[in-house]
Amino acid sequence: DANVAGNVHGGTILKMIEEAGAIISTRHCNSQAGVSRCPSACQALFLSPMCIGEGANVSAEITYTSRHSVEVQVNVMSENILTGAKKVTNKATLWYVPLSLKNVNKVLEVPPIQYARKEQEDEGKKRYEEQKLDRLETKQRNGDMIYPIINPEPHTVGYSQSSLIHLVGPSDCTLLGFVHGGVTMKLMDEVAGIVAARHCKTNIVTASVDAINFHEKIKKGSVITISGRMTFTSNKSMEIEVFVDADPFVDESRERYRAVSAFFTYVSLSKEGKPLPVPQLLTETEDEKRRFEEGKGRYLQTKAKRQAEVQQA
């Protein structure tokens, strides 16, 4: 569950977060006969590290519903079971859509929730519109591919890029035979962590996840390729773009397709757990320079949001 420094892997925490979101959204939609859950997007902040031996408390709340989707806010708190000290380690927002059990391609309507204040509904609607726009922008990038580079120079994009191939088995899937969102996120975090560690050659930890977008479901028996590449570096953080491509191994009628995409941010730490400077990413092509500038914009937005959440926590 943890790295060599004793910090719990970001992917392990993401898996718990998604499980909590799936449970509460399923409970809410169960007023309609037979629905399953499918995550459509996720954003997460890692405010403080969780360590081996601590207890993890994951709490979830539905904060907005549209006609066909549910917004779930999840908080994670760690507890030192010897001293009783508690701290907020993670905050995340997930979006789910309800699917019919009889026809998994049919999206059902979501029962509305009652808001305590009109402002809560207005704020939720604003977040809903923002994530819809982000998903549209991400889909437009889905033609991108990551190809191997022969003898890359250190600290270039090609030097640290990594891929992992995984055969989707029954233990990865829901009762309907589709991959759990948390399983996918854990694999994505693993690949992103390898990219970050290759780039800086130090201990690394997940700082945030920006817009994990689930574009299409992944069936049991598929072969998935999780690929990651560095897109941006600041003085003390790294952004890694991660793709998940699915190859329907048992369904020869369908070609390989892009299933999931996301941006992960990592920080480099010393043996004492202190932030270390990150080697500057060397961009070589026009596409790499463009992605670097786009990453810089996301970095500034996430930094401001993170500071606000840390103060609140």
3-state secondary structure the chain: CECCCCEECHHHHHHHHHHHHHHHHHHHHCCCCCEEEEEEEEEEEECCCCECCCEEEEEEEEEEECCCCEEEEEEEEEECCCCCCEEEEEEEEEEEEEEECCCCCCECCCCCCCCCCHHHHHHHHHHHHHHHHHHHHHHHCCCCCCCCCCCCCCCEHHHHCEEEEEECCHHHECCCCEECHHHHHHHHHHHHHHHHHHHHCCEEEEEEEEEEEECCCCECCCEEEEEEEEEEECCCEEEEEEEEEEECCCCCCCCCEEEEEEEEEEEEECCCCCECCCCCCECCCHHHHHHHHHHHHHHHHHHHHHHHHHHHC
| Residue-level pLDDT at 139 | 61
Q: Is the pLDDT of residue 27 over 70?
A: yes
Structure tokens that stand for 141 in this block: 């990038």
Q: Tell me the backbone φ, ψ of residue 147, rounded to 5 degrees.
A: -110, 150
pLDDT band of residue 140 (cuts 50, 70, 90) is: low
What are the pLDDT digits (tens) for 82-94?
Answer: 999 999 999 999 9
Cross-strand pairs, 56: 78
| Residue-level pLDDT at 258 | 93
Q: Please state, for a pLDDT cut of 70, what percent of the chain lies above it.
A: 94
| Residue-level pLDDT at 1 | 87
Question: 């810089």: which residue's tokens?
Answer: 296
Cross-strand pairs, 173: 179
What average pLDDT does the chain have?
Answer: 90
Alpha-carbon distance 162 to 242, whole Å? 9
| Residue-level pLDDT at 15 | 95
Q: Is the pLDDT of residue 274 over 90?
A: no
pLDDT band of residue 37 (cuts 50, 70, 90) is: low
Residue 17 contacts residue 182 (beta carbons within 8 Å)? yes
pLDDT band of residue 268 (cuts 50, 70, 90) is: very high
Q: Is the pLDDT of residue 126 over 70?
A: yes
Stretch 243-263: mean pLDDT? 87
| Residue-level pLDDT at 141 | 65
Residues marked as catalytic: 3, 189
Vertex 245 angle, CA 250 and 76, to 5°: 110
Q: Is the pLDDT of residue 203 over 80?
A: yes
The CATH classification number of 10-130 equals 3.10.129.10
Looking at the chain, the domain(s) classified CATH 3.10.129.10 span: 10-130, 157-312
Vertex 181 angle, CA 24 and 160, to 5°: 140
Cross-strand pairs, 72: 62, 94
pLDDT band of residue 211 (cuts 50, 70, 90) is: confident
| Residue-level pLDDT at 308 | 78
Q: Which amino acid is at 95?
A: W
| Residue-level pLDDT at 163 | 96
Alpha-carbon distance 109 to 298, whole Å? 32
pLDDT band of residue 36 (cuts 50, 70, 90) is: low
Alpha-carbon distance 40 to 30, whole Å? 18
CATH architecture group of domain 157-312: Roll (3.10)
Higher pLDDT, 252 or 7: 7
pLDDT band of residue 132 (cuts 50, 70, 90) is: confident
Stretch 153-181: mean pLDDT? 94
Which of 83-87, 268-272, 303-307 shows the highest mean pLDDT? Answer: 83-87
